């Protein structure tokens, strides 16, 4: 069964460092998303991506964040200068057709720890 | 804008007892609703979804949910709890304000199953 994969599963970094979180969405999917979940809190939307551009972003997704689909298969989230408060689980998701009825498939997440 | 509330951040049931996890939504248009489960240290897995085809929705692992428009509810139930059901459960609504349809999650309910 197709699945969304994410690497690494756990990333530890120093405050101020750049990190890149990687995701491989399901191959025929067209819409891509990043969410994050701070420990003990709910899952929050960060950004959606379609047709090689950002379609929507939340207030959390400031200038320190960027997304890219560099090669038609990977989907990356970059944090330029990490802060302590960026420590969270980051989930990638993808879905196929347009419309709210098609479910998003989530990856297993990357746990980011900023020291 | 759509939103979701979940009554009870933590629910504890005995093995074999009924599981009832509550979810209420707010939406100005007919919603698309989802229940996701998150097992410890894992990603988000779709349990079931409501897309207006039937008000009683059956999902995986014996779970089902009933959409009640008059009560703006989408409660999750399972007749008999199993130890393996211990997890975090998230009710979610698809934000149909845009065609890109991000998912808006509730705060989650942690289910404990007592032997």
A62-98 pLDDT, tens digit each: 999 999 998 878 999 999 999 999 999 999 999 887 5
Report the C-alpha gap between B90 and A42 in whole angstroms: 8
pLDDT greater than 70 at residue B100: no
What number of C-beta contacts closer than 8 Å exist between A and B? Answer: 61
Is B95 in contact with A100 (Cβ distance < 8 A)? yes
Is A50 in contact with B34 (Cβ distance < 8 A)? no
Is A31 in contact with B100 (Cβ distance < 8 A)? yes
- Closest CA relative to residue B108, chosen from B32, B31, B5: B5
Would you give the DSSP letter of residue A3? -
> What average pLDDT does chain B have?
90
Report the C-alpha gap between A23 and A21 in whole angstroms: 7
Any CB–CB contact under 8 A between B22 and chain A? no
Any CB–CB contact under 8 A between B3 and chain A? no
Report the C-alpha gap between B46 and B51 in whole angstroms: 14
Any CB–CB contact under 8 A between A45 and chain B? yes
CA A107 to chain centre: 9
Report the C-alpha gap between B12 and B29 in whole angstroms: 33
B47-74 pLDDT, tens digit each: 999 887 788 999 999 999 999 999 999 9
Report the C-alpha gap between B9 and B89 in whole angstroms: 10
Residue pair A90/A36 in contact by the 8 Å Cβ criterion: yes
User: At CA B9, angle to CA B104 and CA A103, rounded to 5?
Assistant: 30
Q: Could you tell me the strand order of the sheet in which A75-79 lies?
A: A5-7, A19-24, A75-79, A65-68
How close is the nearest chain B Cα to the Cα of A83, in Å?
23
How close is the nearest chain A Cα to the Cα of B99, in Å?
6
How close is the nearest chain B Cα to the Cα of A6, in Å?
10
């Amino acid at each position: 069964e197709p699945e969304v994969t994410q690497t690494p599963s756990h990333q530890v970094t120093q405050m101020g460092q750049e990190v890149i979180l990687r995701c491989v969405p399901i191959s025929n999917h067209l819409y891509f998303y990043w969410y994050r979940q701070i420990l003990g809190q709910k899952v929050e939307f960060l950004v959606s991506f379609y047709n090689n551009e950002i379609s929507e972003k939340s207030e959390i997704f400031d200038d320190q964040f960027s997304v890219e689909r560099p090669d038609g298969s990977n989907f990356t989230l970059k944090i330029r200068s990490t802060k302590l408060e960026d420590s969270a689980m980051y989930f990638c998701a993808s879905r196929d057709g347009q419309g709210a009825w098609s479910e998003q498939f989530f990856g297993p997440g990357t746990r980011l720890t900023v020291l | 804008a759509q939103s979701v509330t979940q009554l009870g951040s933590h629910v504890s049931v005995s093995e074999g007892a009924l599981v009832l996890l509550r979810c209420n939504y707010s939406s100005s248009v007919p919603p698309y609703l989802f229940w996701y489960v998150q097992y410890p240290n894992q990603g988000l897995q779709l349990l079931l979804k409501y897309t207006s085809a039937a008000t009683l929705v059956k999902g995986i692992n014996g779970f089902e949910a009933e959409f009640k428009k008059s009560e703006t509810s989408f409660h999750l139930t399972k007749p008999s709890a199993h130890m393996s059901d211990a997890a975090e459960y998230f009710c979610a609504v698809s934000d149909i304000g845009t065609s890109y349809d991000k998912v808006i999650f509730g705060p989650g309910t942690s289910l404990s199953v007592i032997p």
